[in-house]
């Protein structure tokens, strides 16, 4: 029934593996997909993952830094898998506890894990147990709890027991923040590369990162969280007001112990509410907290750390990990590569109405012109009145900032338009052909704003992208939205997939986050958008002028998000 079962460390060392009879394909592909798409992207709140024809179930053992993964055909319904993977984990831990307690990759490599017989025995017991289970049946009304209630029991009496417990403040804790993992699975090397963008003082070169200055109160609160028992007690009495906020609640210190879900639950509940208040979509906030709980459960706690500070640090690391690009995003280099191939680099902008697509397209045009590239703007919004005129105004202003006389008499930016009521996909195709003939470096395709539920317009957008195959598809979204961001991105991606004529449809490649200057520290939309798509935020709009364009600084955004 099972295709494979593998046990490996978070350092990437495969300790033991099993392949089912008749299975010839290697399990490295599905396991590496699980690492890339779930574990490295902090999406481990759920314990299941689908890769092509396989369903994968996995379990994290945070005490010994192990991962247990089982794979089987997704058409099968194996009810025993969840219990089976728990049994294997407990049995493997108990048998090889001494070997697992030895730290270091070399010691693990030198250890021998002969687990075949134990595994087959556990598998046989699990399969036989699933066959002998009695079929479930629907309870009658007389057997239900509701039938035992009387009318009197449902009347709330004044001064009576409310029956609701306030979340207990269990003060437990954890030692070190979660670090980035390096994965080495058999022959494949997966390394998370965190690189900081080059900071410049003008629009020439890479964009300045969007910044957030931490307040003195935040710094003092973080300092208080690092103190020991005696210092913590003094701080609580003298600086109680300064320790207010969502993360200053649970400051009790505990001795070395394993962290349990019950220990973390009160803190996670507060963090979930805090994230939602900062504009993170409710569903995403819950998934993030579940993922953090799964990462920390079973971790051995240090003596001088708190549950609140431990969970806070783990959540911060997870948020930074989510916002870091999963692939290289270097538009300037990509444009130069397209130049060497004597073709224009094409970027298509899409999004809902009124989010600032045309304005931010003009900002990106200015940035590209500042870096020595020529730009052709394709006016493919043939629906909104005034859309073409707005782009023409931007074209005139950009050419006045960079007069043709300074560029050999040639305008650095031109507008390609065919008026209103025309086929947008056809206009984009003609614009790209014109740019190739006239040796333009970049084509920026402006599209009509459309709501994600408007099927005809979503079909037209999918057609434009499928026909012209742009190098980059950017979704333009507001930093103001909360739960709506999830709905917009899911339906935009779904529409592009449904209406594509290719087996591998083009989906959204990146995000332009607009109106970032209007939200103060409510930056949760950035988390929601990147979590849903798995794609990076390429540009951040921070104002109304052409210079108000930034790149995303993940740590600055997380700092603003965690600010109490």
Single pTM value for the model? 0.66
Q: Residue 547 gets which letter from DSSP? A: T
Per-residue confidence (pLDDT) for residue 398, from 0 to 100:
93
What would the two tokens of residue 223 be?
């300092």
Report d(CA 475, CA 492) in Å as an integer: 9
How many CB atoms are located within 10 Å of the residue 137 CB?
Answer: 6
Residue 367 is predicted with a pLDDT of: 94
Neighbours of 375 (CB within 10 A): 27
What is the set of domains in the chain, with CATH numbers? 4-129 (3.30.450.60), 258-323 (no CATH), 331-553 (3.40.50.300)
**Quick check: 242 and 251 in contact, CB under 8 A?**
no
Token digits of residue 306: 């708190």
Q: Is 442 helix (H, G, I), strand (E, B) or coil?
A: strand
Q: How many CB atoms lie within 10 A of CB 398?
A: 20
Q: Are strands 537-541 and 549-550 parallel, antiparallel or unpaired?
A: antiparallel
SS3 120: helix
- Distance in angstroms (rounded) separating the CA atoms of residues 423 and 434: 17
* 3-state secondary structure string across 126-163: HHHHHHHCCCCCCCCHHHCCHHHCCCHHHCCCCCCCCC
Return the closest-CA partner of residue 116 out of 234, 220, 7.
7
* Angstrom distance (rounded) from CA 231 to CA 273: 29
Q: At what angle do helices 307-323 and 216-225 cross, to 10 degrees?
A: 120
Give the span between the Cα atoms of 439 and 443, in whole angstroms. Answer: 11
DSSP state of 258: B
Q: At what angle do helices 554-562 and 524-533 cross, to 10 degrees?
A: 120
Residue numbers of the chain with a pLDDT score lower than 70: 42, 44-45, 103-107, 110, 132-139, 141-202, 211-257, 301-304
* Under 8 Å between Cβ of 514 and 358: no
Instruction: Tell me how crowded residue 340 is: count the other CB atoms within 10 A of its CB.
Output: 7
Contact 263, 172 (CB under 8 A): yes
Strand pairing report for 48-51 and 472-478: unpaired
Tally Cβ neighbours within 10 Å of residue 10: 18
374 and 399 in contact (C-beta within 8 Å)?
Answer: no
pLDDT (0 to 100) of residue 211? 64
CA angle 156, 162, 163 (to 5 degrees): 115
């Amino acid at each position: 029934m099972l295709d494979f079962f593998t046990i490996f460390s978070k350092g990437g060392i495969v300790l033991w593996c099993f392949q089912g009879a008749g299975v010839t394909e290697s399990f490295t592909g599905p396991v590496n997909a699980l690492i890339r798409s779930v574990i490295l992207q902090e999406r481990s709140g759920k314990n299941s993952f689908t890769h092509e024809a396989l369903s994968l179930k996995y379990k994290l053992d945070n005490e010994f830094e192990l991962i247990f993964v089982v794979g089987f055909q997704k058409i099968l319904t194996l009810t025993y898998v969840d219990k089976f993977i728990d049994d294997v984990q407990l049995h493997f831990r108990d048998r090889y506890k001494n070997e697992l307690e030895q730290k270091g990759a070399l010691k693990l490599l030198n250890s021998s894990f002969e687990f075949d017989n134990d595994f087959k025995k556990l598998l046989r017991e699990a399969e036989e147990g699933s066959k002998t289970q009695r079929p479930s049946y629907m309870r009658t009304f007389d057997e239900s709890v509701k039938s035992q209630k009387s009318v009197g029991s449902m009347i709330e009496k004044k001064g009576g027991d409310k029956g609701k417990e306030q979340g207990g403040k269990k003060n437990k804790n954890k030692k070190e923040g979660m670090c980035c993992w390096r994965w080495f699975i058999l022959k494949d090397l997966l390394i998370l590369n965190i690189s900081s963008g080059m900071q410049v003082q003008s629009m020439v070169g890479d964009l300045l990162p969007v910044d957030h200055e931490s307040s003195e109160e935040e710094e003092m609160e973080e300092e208080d969280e690092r103190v020991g028992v005696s210092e913590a007690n003094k701080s609580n009495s003298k600086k109680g007001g300064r320790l207010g906020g969502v993360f200053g609640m649970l400051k009790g210190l505990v001795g070395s112990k394993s962290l349990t879900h019950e220990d973390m639950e009160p803190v996670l509940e507060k963090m979930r509410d805090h994230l939602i208040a900062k504009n993170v979509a409710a569903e995403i906030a819950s998934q993030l907290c579940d993922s953090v709980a799964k990462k920390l459960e079973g971790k051995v706690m240090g003596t001088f750390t708190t549950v609140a500070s431990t969970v806070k640090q783990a959540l911060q690391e997870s948020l930074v990990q989510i916002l870091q690009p999963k692939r290289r995003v270097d538009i300037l280099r990509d444009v130069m590569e397209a130049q060497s191939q004597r073709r224009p680099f094409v970027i298509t902008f899409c999004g809902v109405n009124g989010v600032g697509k045309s304005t931010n397209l003009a900002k990106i045009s200015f940035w590209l012109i500042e870096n020595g590239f020529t730009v052709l703007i394709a006016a493919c919004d043939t629906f909104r009145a005034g859309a073409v005129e707005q782009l023409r105004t931007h074209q005139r202003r950009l050419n006045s900032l960079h007069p043709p006389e300074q560029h050999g008499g040639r305008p650095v930016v031109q507008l390609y338009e065919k008026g209103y009521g025309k086929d947008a996909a056809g206009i984009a195709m003609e614009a790209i052909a014109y740019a190739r003939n006239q040796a333009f470096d970049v084509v920026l395709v402006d599209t009509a704003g459309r709501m994600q539920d408007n099927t005809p317009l979503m079909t037209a957008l999918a057609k434009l992208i499928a026909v012209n195959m742009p190098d980059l598809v950017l979704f333009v979204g507001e930093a103001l939205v909360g739960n709506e961001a999830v709905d917009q991105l899911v339906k935009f991606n779904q529409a592009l997939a449904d209406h594509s004529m290719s087996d591998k449809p083009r989906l959204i490649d990146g995000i332009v986050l607009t109106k970032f200057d209007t939200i103060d520290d409510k930056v949760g939309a950035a988390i929601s958008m990147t979590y849903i798509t798995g794609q990076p935020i390429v540009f951040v709009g921070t104002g109304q002028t052409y210079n108000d364009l930034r790149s995303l600084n993940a740590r600055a955004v997380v700092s603003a998000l965690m600010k109490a």
